[in-house]
Amino acid sequence: MVDTASSIELGFIGFGNMAQAMAQGLVNSGALPGGRIHACAGHFDKLQATAEKLGVNAHREAAEVVEASDFVVLAVKPYLIEQVVEPVRDLLAGKAVISVAAGRDFAFYESILAPGTHHLSTIPNTPIAVGAGVVACEQRHSLTDEQLGAFVNLFGQIALIEWVDGKLLSTASSVAGCGPAFAAIFLEALGDAGVKHCLPRATAYRLAAQMMMGTAKLHLETGEHPGAMKDAVCSPGGTTIKGVAALEKDGFRGCVIDAIDAIQGA
């Protein structure tokens, strides 16, 4: 097994939106060249076209991907995991297996992988495509120290890696994995509001997007409580506090919490 990120051969079984986002982030950031990435998918013609854009190696069979790779990312729908693992179960025993399937934890993989297989369950999010992602990882795993170091060194270049207890992986996924959809709705809404008050749409979106990115960066770099960050913008009797009051009246925070509750109850 390799011990440096630059020498990893990375494989994807399944190459849908999340796998493509991960590959794009690695390639575009220079963390891993496309020539060290291998992928297979249900529709080979479509895979070839996608892989060519990133310089990724397209394979017809999962076994080819596993044999070519040190780390194998299982990136199919959760209900397909057992189906794709079964034919390559023995081959996976010598690899580091990384799951990105929701609801598939350490205990699940212990039950379907060959005994002694090294594996880790994770939930990434789509901003990983631009090197600003999150990878929520289950604390319980069976990677070796060498494999774990290589994983962190590689994906830590394009994402915040956050370790959580297995029972909290679903919640972490709801916040970070589903959150981009909520953030995109907020971005769109701010843009619509700007357009309503005569800003060109592209300008409104750029302003809102940069504001969201900057606010998030400010919190990550300072650790300041979000409430304090909000208070710092709200002058007594000023414009911002009037907007905050309107959001509170309409139950903005409650709606966000309800959204997470809905996902957790699904």
Show binding-site residues.
13-18, 75-78
Tokens of 96: 């580091």
- Binding-site residue set for NADP(+): 13-18, 75-78
Contact of 21 with 149, CB cutoff 8 Å: no
Give the separation between CA 160 and CA 60, rounded to whole angstroms.
32
Nearest of 2, 49, 65, 56 to residue 24 by alpha carbon:
56
Question: How far is residue 173's CA from residue 191's CA, in Å, rounded to a whole number?
Answer: 27
Q: Is 77 helix (H, G, I), strand (E, B) or coil?
A: coil
First to last CA, the chain: 39
Secondary structure class of 57 (helix, strand, coil): strand
